[in-house]
Amino acid sequence: MAYQPQQSGLRVYLQNIPVTLYTAFMTKTRKRSTWLRFCSGAPIAAAMVAALVPAGLQAQEPQPPGDADIAEGLRLYQQKGNCQACHGWQGDGHKGDSQMPDGANLRETKLNRAGLILLIKCGRLNSQMPAFDKFAYSDGRCYGKKQADLKAYPTRMPDPPATLQQREIELIADFLMAKVVGKGPMDHAKCVDFWGSEADACKAFAK
Rounded CA gap, 201 and 199, in Å?
Answer: 5
Residue 101 clears pLDDT 80, i.e. is over it: yes
What number is the average pLDDT over the span 97-115?
A: 92
What number is the average pLDDT over the span 26-35?
A: 59
Please give the pLDDT value at position 7. Answer: 53
Higher pLDDT, 184 or 10: 184
Residue 9 clears pLDDT 80, i.e. is over it: no
% pLDDT > 90, the chain: 61
> What's the CATH number of domain 67-204, 3.40.50.720, 3.50.50.60, 3.90.1150.10, 1.10.760.10?
1.10.760.10
CB atoms within 10 A of CB 61: 5
Query: What are the tens digits of pLDDT across the range 43-82?
Result: 554 555 455 555 554 555 668 899 999 999 999 999 999 9
In the predicted model, what is the mean pLDDT of the chain?
82
Per domain, the residue ranges of the chain are: 67-204
What number is the average pLDDT over the span 26-32?
A: 61
Please give the pLDDT value at position 57. Answer: 47
Please give the pLDDT value at position 28. Answer: 61
Query: What are the tens digits of pLDDT across the range 140-193?
Result: 999 999 999 999 999 999 999 999 999 999 999 999 999 999 999 999 999 999
| The model scores a pTM over 0.75 | no
